[in-house]
Amino acid sequence: MPRWRPESVGRVIQEELSDLIKKGLRDPRLGYVTVTGVDVTRDLRTARVYISVMGDTAAQRESLDALTRATPFIRRELGQRLHLRHTPNLSFAYDDSIERGARINQILDGLKKQEGGPSS
């Protein structure tokens, strides 16, 4: 099976999940969630969904818990939207790459200020 198939299915799942989280889930514990990526196995049976959440650690935990509890509903909705033979089993994981990028930018800005920064 070509490798592009799981990747393209992952992109479609990412788009549909983003839409579903934004419009279909009404859990008050769910914060501002962004789906940053989806890894799908070659057999299309399992998808690992990476999310980023704005807020502190408690908000991140609550949002991840809300998504985990809503997994059967999310999977059913995805099955109706995707029209695949088998809807992948979903697992959610927190992705801290956005926070790491912001931290690196903050450090670089601090270094620029220490050196005097670019002069205009």
What confidence tier does 2 reach under pLDDT thresholds 50, 70, 90?
A: low
49-67 as b/e: b if 16+ CB within 10 A: bbbbbeeeeebbebbbebb
Q: Which residue has the tokens 């992109």?
A: 11
Distance CA 11, CA 70 (A): 21
Per-residue CA distances from 106 to 5, 36, 100, 110, 113 (Å): 38, 21, 10, 6, 11
Instruction: Indicate whether 54 belongs to any domain.
Output: yes
For residue range 57-108, list pLDDT tens digits in order: 898 899 999 999 999 999 999 999 988 888 999 999 998 877 777 788 888 8
- Cβ within 8 Å of residue 41, ≥6 positions away: 6, 47, 88
- The domain that contains 77 carries what CATH number? 3.30.300.20
pLDDT at 20 over 50: yes
- Residue 86 covered by a domain: yes
Within 10 angstroms of residue 70's Cβ, the number of other Cβ atoms is: 21
Q: What domain count does the chain have?
A: 1
Strand partners, 45: none
Residue 61 lies in a domain: yes
Task: Tell me, yes or no, whether 120 lies in a domain.
Answer: no
Tell me the residue length of the chain: 120
| Domain assignment of residue 85, given as a range | 4-115
